[in-house]
């Protein structure tokens, strides 16, 4: 290859990386700005005391915004070398050996929930604490140590207490759904979770730290509240430029080690990318050599290739403990025997010589991983959006259910009342037709009025029936209201009652109890405004049965008070008709008053149910109108993230570079 061609190839590669980097920066900044806008739009829609399920979404958006900021900064950062592996595999010792100083002490800096970055650019007594939302705080070295230890103690103590109480609660739970929701509730309400995601520690400059920023990751095998093992590496992998993956040479058959690597591969396969930025290390090789020499070491390497060879091209055998001893004692032969120098040479060869290329690849894979974490159905935001849509649909159905239910109730009590009054009037009309003649034989108005009331109208028969009807429907409306509330309210948890769990935790000190429950206890509902005893009751309505009757009969009895002969003349022409009209009018007034009372109670009951429906929806999502705005904002975010990253066209780059070269 001629000098000109080599130069062209180098320039093209350099130019291509520059354009890719520029496009990445533009794309990442655009997405970060979109996340910020969506966050602000949602924040403006919800009130702090409501929309309980939306606030974790805001926290997650804030975290994603910070992740995008890290990607942007990572394009210009010093190459970050992540040390990954299970706890007790010698990570801290390896970090100390690579940096040629004692900086990582597992007893001082617990590693269950953050990453530790060793930074030569910090002044000797300055540490930087980075929080989940991207905020930073500067503290002295000693202050940082104390603060981190306090955070770790809070986490451990709350975890211990919650796990202890969970064992008691589990005995009362019958289904997997109840167990899962109980764990979710306990984790959210009682478990202390530090918001610190990264601590940057000052270190002295060494050969490796001049070129790389070394990062210590948490122990990647944790336990959930039930004691089940959780293997996770993808939470931190998107931040890494390069990875040193440490295995214990004496425990290659460890299932957890293999599970951890398989979990990473599955994660990378989901996002369609895998980088060549991992160096595998077999630590504690000195123990292997002591037990079998070179032959034993070769067996270990062979076993490593058999178990993990599909994931790694090469394994470097080291003894971090020997390497650190060689450094501290200035023992060159011991340091060389430890394999640390071979590892540093491999890091130089694999990472430093191709740093920019690897960083761009890592940032691309990192972005795909962040995108996958956002878009996957298991992500907090996606799960919330799916739940929101489902409960918006359910909200409409429940509104219709309430409306239909109370319309049916109205029809039912109207029909029943009409049946009661119609039957009564039919009986009264029969009596009037058969016995009205007796009125002409009575001497006084008082006698005639008493006869009409007691023998023709028989209102004493109507009164108990109406009282029974009124009492039944007053109680029925109240009961139906309670039943409907229990059926239509929205609850955060479908299978458990947080109030019952809260009671079990009353004696636990040091936990952040919020005592919030959205499961409705219908026995505690305030239904005073629907109680028959609280209003006028039937007594007031029942008074209508006898009270105004005298006015209605005044004309009739006065009419009968004429000369008997004249009165009998009018018998066939109007008496029965007037009596029928009088009883119909009277019963109609009673019916109207009863319906007014029951409809008022029905409207109050319906209002109560709708109020509970609306309030419980607001408790979880904000108002229905706000929830639609939140849905729209999240839809916009997902739409933006589905668009592919726009990389520069290679032909355009070639033509530009040919012009550049020819001009020279």
Summarised one tens digit per residue, pLDDT across range 600-613 is 999 999 999 999 99
pLDDT of residue 85: 80
What is the model's pLDDT at position 615?
93
Is the pLDDT at 659 greater than 80? The verdict is no
Q: Which residue has the higher pLDDT, 194 or 566?
A: 194
Q: Which of 466, 463, 470 is nearest to 546 (CA)?
A: 463
Which residue has better confidence, 183 or 506?
A: 183
In which band, very low, low, confident or very high, does the pLDDT at 531 lie, cut at 50, 70 and 90? very low
Domain's final residue, options 341, 375, 409: 375
Rounded to whole angstroms, the Cα distance separating 363 from 67 reads 11
Residue 392, domain extent = 386-489+516-621
* Residue-level pLDDT at 572: 43
Q: What would the mean pLDDT of 174-184 be, rounded to a whole number?
A: 83
Q: With pLDDT > 70 as the criterion, what percentage of the chain qualifies?
A: 76
Instruction: Give pLDDT tens digits for 193-224.
Output: 888 989 999 999 999 999 999 998 876 545 55
Task: Write down which residue in 325, 346, 375 finishes a domain.
Answer: 375
Same structural domain, 369 and 238 = yes
Q: How high is the pLDDT of residue 661? A: 43
- Which residue in 60, 56, 50 sits closest to 620, CA to CA? 50
Angle at 462 between CA 458 and CA 465, to 5 degrees: 150
Pair 432, 557 in one domain: yes
pLDDT winner (highest mean) among 95-104, 168-177, 246-255, 265-274? 95-104
Calculate helix-pair angle for 624-642, 380-435, nearest 10 degrees: 150
Across 91-159, the runs of DSSP E, i.e. the strands, are: 115-119, 127-131, 136-139
Count of domains in the chain?
A: 3
Burial status of residue 329 (CB atoms within 10 A of its CB: 0-12, 13-18, 19 or more): exposed
> Could you tell me the pLDDT band of residue 476, with boundaries at 50, 70 and 90?
very high
458 and 329, same structural domain? no
Q: Assess whether 294 and 414 both reside in one domain.
A: no
Per-residue model confidence (pLDDT) at position 406: 96
498 neighbors 516 (Cβ within 8 angstroms)? yes
Q: What is the mean pLDDT of residues 93-105?
A: 89
In this structure, the answer to whether residues 23 and 102 fall within a common structural domain is: no
Domain identity same for 307 and 421: no
Average pLDDT, the chain: 81
Q: How far is CA 103 from CA 97, 98, 168, 242, 245, in A?
A: 10, 10, 42, 20, 19
Which stretches does DSSP call E strand in 291-372? 315-317
Look at residue 306 in the predicted model and tell me its pLDDT: 85
CB atoms within 10 A of CB 284: 23
102: CATH = 3.40.50.300
What is the reported pLDDT for 189?
A: 77
Tell me if 158 is assigned to some domain.
no
Q: Regarding predicted confidence, which is higher, 390 or 261?
A: 390
pLDDT band at 652 (very low <50, low <70, confident <90, very high): low
pLDDT digits (tens, 9 = 90+) for 415-433: 999 999 999 999 999 999 8
pLDDT score of 521: 39
In a domain, 148, yes or no: no
Contact in structure between 32 and 65 (CB atoms under 8 Å): yes
pLDDT number for residue 355: 81
* 104 three-class SS: coil
384 burial (CB, 10 Å; 0-12 / 13-18 / 19+) is: buried
**What is the average per-residue pLDDT within 465-490?**
93
pLDDT per residue as tens digits for the range 145-171:
999 989 988 888 888 888 877 777 777
Cα distances from 345 to residues 181, 209, 281, 350, 370, in angstroms, run 50, 14, 13, 9, 31
296 part of a folded domain: yes
Residue 264 and residue 405 in one domain? no
Q: Choose the most confident range, by mean pLDDT, from 171-175, 344-348, 515-519.
A: 344-348
> Are 610 and 649 in the same domain?
no
Q: Up-side HSE of residue 319: CA atoms within 13 Å toward CB?
A: 19
More confident site: 569 or 403: 403
Quick one: pLDDT at residue 35?
A: 96
User: Would you say residue 412 has pLDDT above 70?
Assistant: yes
Q: Give the pLDDT score at 283.
A: 93
CA distance 277 to 281: 13
Rounded Cα gap, residues 375 and 373, in angstroms: 6
Residue 440 lies in a domain: yes
Model confidence at 523: pLDDT above 70: no
First CA to last CA distance, the chain: 20
Is residue 3 a part of any domain in this protein?
A: no
If asked whether residues 595 and 646 sit together in one domain, one would say no
Residue with tokens 């609660």: 169
Is residue 441 pLDDT above 60, yes or no? Answer: yes
Whether residues 401 and 299 share a domain: the answer is: no
**Residue 353 lies inside a defined structural domain of this protein:** yes
pLDDT attached to residue 119: 93
Task: Say whether both 418 and 540 belong to one domain.
Answer: yes
pLDDT category at 569 given cuts 50, 70, 90 is very low
Look at residue 522 and tell me if it is in a domain: yes
Chain position carrying tokens 């008709």: 577
For residue 450, what pLDDT is reported? 86
Name the DSSP letter for residue 534.
G
| pLDDT for 509 beyond 60 | no
Is 652 part of any domain?
A: yes
- For residue 239, what is the DSSP state? T
| pLDDT of 538 above 60 | no
What are 105-129's pLDDT values in tens digits?
644 444 557 889 999 999 999 999 9
CA angle 164, 170, 175 (to 5 degrees): 155
Residue 503 main-chain phi, psi, to 5 deg: -60, -35
- Both 629 and 564 in one domain: the answer is no
Task: Provide the 8-state DSSP code for 90.
Answer: S
Of 355, 375, 395, the position where a domain reaches its end is 375
């Amino acid at each position: 290859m001629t000098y000109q061609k080599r130069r062209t190839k180098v320039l093209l590669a350099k130019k291509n990386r520059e354009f890719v980097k520029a496009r990445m920066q533009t794309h990442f900044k655009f997405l970060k700005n979109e996340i910020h806008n969506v966050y602000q739009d949602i924040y403006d829609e919800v009130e702090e005391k409501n929309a309980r399920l939306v606030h974790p979404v805001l926290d997650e958006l804030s975290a994603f915004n910070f992740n995008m900021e890290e990607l942007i900064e990572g394009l210009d950062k010093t190459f970050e070398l992540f040390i990954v592996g299970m706890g007790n595999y010698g990570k801290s010792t390896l970090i100390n050996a690579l940096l040629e100083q004692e900086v990582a002490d597992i007893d001082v800096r617990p590693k269950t929930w953050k990453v530790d970055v060793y930074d030569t650019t910090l002044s000797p007594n300055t540490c930087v604490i980075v929080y989940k939302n991207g905020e930073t705080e500067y503290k002295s070295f000693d202050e940082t140590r104390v603060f981190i230890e306090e955070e770790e103690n809070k986490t451990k103590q709350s975890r211990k207490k919650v796990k202890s109480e969970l064992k008691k609660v589990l005995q009362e739970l019958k289904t997997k759904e109840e167990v899962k929701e109980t764990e979710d509730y306990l984790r959210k309400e009682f478990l202390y979770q530090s918001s610190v995601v990264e601590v940057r520690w000052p270190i002295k400059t060494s050969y490796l730290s001049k070129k790389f920023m070394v990062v210590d990751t948490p122990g990647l095998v944790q336990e959930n509240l039930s004691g089940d093992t959780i293997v996770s590496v993808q939470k931190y992998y998107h931040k890494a430029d390069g990875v040193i993956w440490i295995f214990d040479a004496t425990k290659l058959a460890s299932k957890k080690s293999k599970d951890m690597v398989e979990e990473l591969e599955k994660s990378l396969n989901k996002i369609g990318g895998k980088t060549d930025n991992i160096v595998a290390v077999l630590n504690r090789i000195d123990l292997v050599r002591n037990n079998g020499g070179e032959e034993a070491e070769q067996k270990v390497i062979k076993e490593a290739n058999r178990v993990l060879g599909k994931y790694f091209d090469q394994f470097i055998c080291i003894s971090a403990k020997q390497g650190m001893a060689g450094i501290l004692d200035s023992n060159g032969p011991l340091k060389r025997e430890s394999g640390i120098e071979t590892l540093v040479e491999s890091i130089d060869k694999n990472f430093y010589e191709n740093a920019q290329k690897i960083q761009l690849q890592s940032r691309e894979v990192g972005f795909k991983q962040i995108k996958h974490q956002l878009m996957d159905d298991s992500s907090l935001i996606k799960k919330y959006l799916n739940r929101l849509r489902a409960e918006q649909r359910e909200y409409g159905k429940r509104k219709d259910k309430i409306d239909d239910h109370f319309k049916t109730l109205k029809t039912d009590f109207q029909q029943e009342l009409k049946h009661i009054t119609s039957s009564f009037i039919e009986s009264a009309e029969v009596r009037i037709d058969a016995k009205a003649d007796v009125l002409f034989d009575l001497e006084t108005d008082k006698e005639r009025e008493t006869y009409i009331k007691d023998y023709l109208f028989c209102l004493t028969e109507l009164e108990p029936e109406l009282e029974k009807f009124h009492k039944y429907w007053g109680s029925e409306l109240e009961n139906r209201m309670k039943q409907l509330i229990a059926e239509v309210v929205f609850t955060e948890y479908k299978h458990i009652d947080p109030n019952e769990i809260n009671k079990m935790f009353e004696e636990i000190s040091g936990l952040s109890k919020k005592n919030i429950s959205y499961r409705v206890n219908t026995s505690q509902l305030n239904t005073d405004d629907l109680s028959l005893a609280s209003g006028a009751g039937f007594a007031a309505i029942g008074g209508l049965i006898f009270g105004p009757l005298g006015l209605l009969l005044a004309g009739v009895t006065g009419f009968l008070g004429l000369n008997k002969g004249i009165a009998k003349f009018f018998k066939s022409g109007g008496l029965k008709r007037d009596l029928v009209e009088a009883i119909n009018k009277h019963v109609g007034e009673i019916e109207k008053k009863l319906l007014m009372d029951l409809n008022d109670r029905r409207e109050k009951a319906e209002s109560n149910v709708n109020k509970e429906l609306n309030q419980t929806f607001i408790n979880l999502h904000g108002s229905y109108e706000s929830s639609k705005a939140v849905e729209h904002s999240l839809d916009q975010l997902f739409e933006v993230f589905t668009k592919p990253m726009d990389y520069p066209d290679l032909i355009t780059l070639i033509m530009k570079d040919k012009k550049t070269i020819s001009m020279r």
